[in-house]
Structure 1
Amino acid sequence: MKLTTREKSALIMEGIVTVVLLLLLNLSVIVLLNEMIQTNPGLQDGIFIIKRSVFIGPAHYQLWSWENIFIVLLAIFDAGVVYWRLIRRYRQMQLRHIIDELHYIANGHFDHRIPFTLKGDTQRVITSVNSLVDSVIASMDEERRIEKSKDELITNVSHDLRTPLTSIIGYLGLVEDKQYHSQDELLKYTNTAYNKAKQMKSLVDDLFVYTKMRNTDTPLSIATLDVGQMLEQLAASFELEASQKGMDVNIDVPDQPMKIEADGEKLGRVFNNLITNALKYGKDGKHIYLRAHQENDDEVVVSVENDGAKIPKASLDQVFERFYRVEGSRSKATGGTGLGLAIAQSIITRHGGYIYVTSDDQITRFIIHLPIKNGTQLKDDHREALPNAKN
């Protein structure tokens, strides 16, 4: 920390004033002691005896001049007092500089940090202040991000609700005004309004699940379940729909049970969303693969795969965002609310696991890592595993 010219002058003046005051004090003490000794013959005799009996060093020097010894002791004391006063004043200046830096940061310069390095407790104060500012800035950024996320969520929900709602109002308005020419046309209008209403309900339901799973206070209904058995049941439930689309669902799980502690209903929703997406977006694909294996004593890995059209590389990191669609359109040509993968990620995260996707010309894989024991948090190392997962 660099002192200003004014501070240096103040420090020098502090030293000079302290030295002058100490010299005056020393002179007063010496005069008083001399006066006391001169007026007390007994004290003079005692001092003389001490001088004759005390020797210093191997040469046996005697203390014939007690004044010199006393002056040396006073000088050592004075030096200590001067040092203490200067250090004390210097630390006050350091504190003033720290306060000035804090005022500068508080005035809106949030990218600024206290730049100087000191010693001892003062440096710990500086480090703590800088860390506190970093923490506050991070909290402010996170708050802005959450606020922006809320605004985006409201915008997206408003858009996705307004579109079917406009259709409902339009078709029901035609019915209200009797602007139809036949019973079939009336049924067509009401059926369209009904389907749009179901679409709105689906969005609201998915939004409710998404916000509920994002809330960490929402409890999970934890039970012991067999992952392989769950996948087999899901494959059977989607068999008819897959065959209608010219696809088949294949299971690859070990013969022995793979039991984990999890919320079966929530995990079922995850796998249901992934299989539905594979049927919906796996264009030109013929197969859906449900695979599971136990990675180690702590985790189970489940993958939902399809051999349809690959996901563009630029979209891989965004597919789990709310309302994101790979096809780059907000139309409902493919149906759905755009929340399925966001819900899946929230549910897996609540279980202490993680999910990611890989995709190439041969196959697209949604890979889920789940802890075997409830309460275990798995380390998300999929970015290191991503190149291998693509092969």
Structure 2
Amino acid sequence: MLRSRLFWKLFLAFAVVNLLAAYLLLRGMLNWSEDRAYDQAERQLKAIAVLMHRAYGDRLREEPNENLQQELIRLGEDSGYRLTLIDPDGRVLADSAQPNVAAVREMENHAKRREVQQALRNGVGVERRTSASVGEPYVYLAMRHDPPGGPAGGPAATVRAAAAVEVIEQEMDFLQRRLSMLALFIGAALLGVTYLVVRSIVLPVLELNAAAEAVGRGDYEQRAFVPNRDELGALAGSFNRMCGELADQIAQLRRSGQQQATVLGGMVEGVIAIDAQQRVVLANKAAGSLLGFRPETVEGRPLVEVIRNHTLHDALAEAQATGRPHRLDVEQQGAESLLLSVQITPLAGDETGAAVIVLNNITELRRLESIRQEFIANVSHELKTPLASIKAYTETLIGGALHDEQHAMQFLQRIEEQADRLNALIQDMLSLARIESAEQSFELTSIVVGEAVAACLNDYAPQALSRGIELAVDSLEPHAEVLADAEGLRVILGNLVDNAIKYTPQGGNVTVAWRITEQNQVLLTVADTGIGIPKDELPRVFERFHRVDKARSRELGGTGLGLSIVKHLTQSFGGSVAVESKVDGGTTFSVALPRP
């Protein structure tokens, strides 16, 4: 029994509750006793203060003198309390804790003492603290003494009595030792009672558990013997009856299990079997994963409660009515949207309407098809534009403009520009293809960021100057290094700086900055004061051929692949890229690269 986790859980729970109750009772009695002790001390101090009030009331406006001091010392020795007389200005006239009047004159003014201030406001003030004069803890009680004629006769003086806290604490220590011994005795008795109670509960449970484990191993003749005449005894009786019935049902369960295993064993997709009433007979884990349910909890439930998709239910009803297989694609909404290919097949030779639903997730396949179609459309469009321009200018030249020297040269220049644009587009596509396919090998070396940035800004300085844009560098770590390919880093910086210059109005700024992060990376940022990017466009800026402002982008000569190349190059170097922007508030691209 002592190895039982249930025993220790119950025993420790009851023991903690009982011991905690004993402890709280002890603390409550101690706190009550302490409060009583301090209340009694305060009542005694108040009585002493009343006597002092009557005995020395007419002397509270004298000057400090030795007679008054010695008299108060004797009174303090006889009463066992510290006594103090304070004039209306807060000056101490006499104090039984001081040896003579000279020492009294050295005491600081008591007008700011809290018990004195309380007494002046309320008549009586009580405070516990360590004395600044003698350095020992005291309980102080001060009482106001009004001048003859009441408050209207002038400021009030104060008499004060104090008792040493040490005496009270000694009494409390004695009481605490006695109560602690009592609490230990009560706690030990409670632990004994707890053990007996828990034992009477756990032993039948262990007996039932041992019998259940034997049944689980196939010993259906096992019985549990529990003499208790309570709910545990009734549970043991029910268990024994259940064992008798279990042997008869196990054969049927095994046959059902073999049938289910046969159906599911040949399927790799999600499978749901339903009866004529569209109740779930069985479902595999793949189906639960696709449709967002736990297979073990749906057997016997109507399919409409498990799957909330009207299109699928309509198709199932049609398949059951016609007896012919039905195939369709449905969209399943959940944590993420899935596109499922559904095959509904009525069971052959079964006139009851039972059917098997086979589910296949084609979300990724359709996404890849969509990406392929979009890519082909974008490539076709990007290639068509310069080719159309070249063809138009060529036809114009052939049509007779070739002999017009002024216009012929302009058309040839336009043809050259479009050819250059077409060449840049093809080169970017080839570069991106090599990066993505890992065909392009990179020589990762240690590169000084400051030198790479300086070279990049030097290349783009004429372009920035022609547009009236200021290029700036902002970094406190000019010698920071990154682990990257030199040409790849040049391409990353070039694309980011080129974009910043193109989309920044005249008179704007482009700032390149970098710093070392806590993740031992160099965070390189390119910030501009340009037109910015709308919030809904930010997630797509790194996609191929995605343009925020299509007309302006093509006008500036962009291929639509620069940022995609930046993203894939950065990932090839083991880094990451991000963007922050605000319309008309500028854009900041951040590239995090590992340090060597």
TM-score normalized by structure 2? 0.43
| 1:116 is aligned to 2:295 | yes
Cα distance, 1:260–1:173 mapped onto 2, change above 3 Å: same
Give the structure 1 partner of residue 255 of structure 2. Answer: 89
Cα distance, 1:280–1:79 mapped onto 2, change above 3 Å: closer
**Which of residues 480, 493, 496 in structure 2 aligns to 1:258?**
480
Give the structure 2 partner of residue 73 of structure 1. Answer: none
Cα distance, 1:349–1:203 mapped onto 2, change above 3 Å: same
Cα distance, 1:208–1:139 mapped onto 2, change above 3 Å: farther
SS of residue paired to 2:542:
coil
Q: C-alpha offsets along residues 335-373 of structure 1, whole Å, 9 cap, x if unaligned? A: 211111111111112222211111235442111111225
| 1:188 is aligned to 2:394 | no
2:443, 2:485 within 8 Å by CA — same for their partners in 1?
Answer: yes
2:467, 2:506 within 8 Å by CA — same for their partners in 1?
Answer: no
Give the drift of 1:152.
Answer: 1.0
Give the structure 1 partner of residue 593 of structure 2. Answer: 370
2:477, 2:515 within 8 Å by CA — same for their partners in 1?
Answer: no
**Which of residues 425, 429, 434 in structure 2 aligns to 1:207?**
429
Give the drift of 1:292.
Answer: 0.5
Give the drift of 1:221.
Answer: 2.0
Cα distance, 1:89–1:219 mapped onto 2, change above 3 Å: same
**Which of residues 543, 552, 568 in structure 2 aligns to 1:346?**
568
**Which of residues 298, 301, 305 in structure 1 aligns to 2:520?**
298
1:291, 1:304 within 8 Å by CA — same for their partners in 2?
Answer: yes
Q: CA separation in 2, counterparts of 1:79 and 1:232?
A: 86
2:464, 2:471 within 8 Å by CA — same for their partners in 1?
Answer: yes
Give the structure 1 partner of residue 557 of structure 2. Answer: 335
Greater percentage in helix? 1
Give the structure 1 partner of residue 271 of structure 2. Answer: 102
Give the drift of 1:257.
Answer: 1.9
**Which of residues 310, 314, 334 in structure 1 aligns to 2:532?**
310
Letter in 2 for 1:235: L
2:469, 2:507 within 8 Å by CA — same for their partners in 1?
Answer: yes
**Which of residues 449, 452, 467 in structure 2 aligns to 1:230?**
452
Give the drift of 1:207.
Answer: 1.1
1:323, 1:339 within 8 Å by CA — same for their partners in 2?
Answer: yes
Letter in 2 for 1:117: E
Cα distance, 1:256–1:138 mapped onto 2, change above 3 Å: farther
Cα distance, 1:307–1:204 mapped onto 2, change above 3 Å: same
Letter in 2 for 1:295: T
1:285, 1:306 within 8 Å by CA — same for their partners in 2?
Answer: no
Letter in 2 for 1:116: P
Give the structure 2 partner of residue 148 of structure 1. Answer: 370
- Stretch of structure 1 that moved more, 155-164 or 330-339: 330-339
SS of residue paired to 2:592:
strand
Q: C-alpha offsets along residues 23-80 of structure 1, whole Å, 9 cap, x if unaligned? A: xxxxxxxxxxxxxxxxxxxxxxxxxxxxxxxxxxxxxxxxxxxxxxxxxxxxxxx999
Cα distance, 1:233–1:259 mapped onto 2, change above 3 Å: same
Letter in 1 for 2:592: H
Q: CA separation in 2, counterparts of 1:241 and 1:277?
A: 12
2:470, 2:507 within 8 Å by CA — same for their partners in 1?
Answer: no
1:285, 1:308 within 8 Å by CA — same for their partners in 2?
Answer: no
Cα distance, 1:363–1:112 mapped onto 2, change above 3 Å: closer
Q: CA separation in 1, counterparts of 2:534 and 2:246?
A: 75
Give the drift of 1:329.
Answer: 3.4
Q: CA separation in 1, counterparts of 2:548 and 2:554?
A: 13
Letter in 1 for 2:562: G
Cα distance, 1:250–1:171 mapped onto 2, change above 3 Å: same
**Which of residues 419, 427, 443 in structure 2 aligns to 1:221?**
443
Cα distance, 1:339–1:372 mapped onto 2, change above 3 Å: same
**Which of residues 130, 136, 161 in structure 1 aligns to 2:383?**
161
SS of residue paired to 1:323:
coil
Q: CA separation in 1, counterparts of 2:539 and 2:291?
A: 33
SS of residue paired to 1:156:
helix
1:235, 1:251 within 8 Å by CA — same for their partners in 2?
Answer: no
Letter in 1 for 2:525: S
SS of residue paired to 1:95:
helix
SS of residue paired to 1:169:
helix
Give the structure 1 partner of residue 234 of structure 2. Answer: none
Q: CA separation in 1, counterparts of 2:553 and 2:586?
A: 26
Letter in 2 for 1:85: A
Greater percentage in strand? 2
Q: CA separation in 2, counterparts of 1:96 and 1:162?
A: 57
SS of residue paired to 1:117:
helix
TM-score normalized by structure 1? 0.63
Cα distance, 1:112–1:135 mapped onto 2, change above 3 Å: closer
Cα distance, 1:311–1:87 mapped onto 2, change above 3 Å: closer
Q: CA separation in 2, counterparts of 1:252 and 1:115?
A: 55
Count, aligned residues: 281
Give the drift of 1:228.
Answer: 1.8
Gap regions ≥5 residues in structure 1: 1-77, 119-132, 374-391
The alignment's C-alpha RMSD in Å is 3.4
Gap regions ≥5 residues in structure 2: 1-243, 274-282, 298-337, 342-358
Letter in 1 for 2:566: A
SS of residue paired to 1:311:
coil
Q: CA separation in 2, counterparts of 1:197 and 1:248?
A: 31
Letter in 2 for 1:207: M
**Which of residues 392, 407, 413 in structure 2 aligns to 1:170?**
392
Q: CA separation in 2, counterparts of 1:304 and 1:216?
A: 27
1:228, 1:254 within 8 Å by CA — same for their partners in 2?
Answer: no
Cα distance, 1:248–1:215 mapped onto 2, change above 3 Å: same
Q: CA separation in 2, counterparts of 1:312 and 1:134?
A: 30
Letter in 2 for 1:311: I
Q: CA separation in 2, counterparts of 1:321 and 1:138?
A: 28
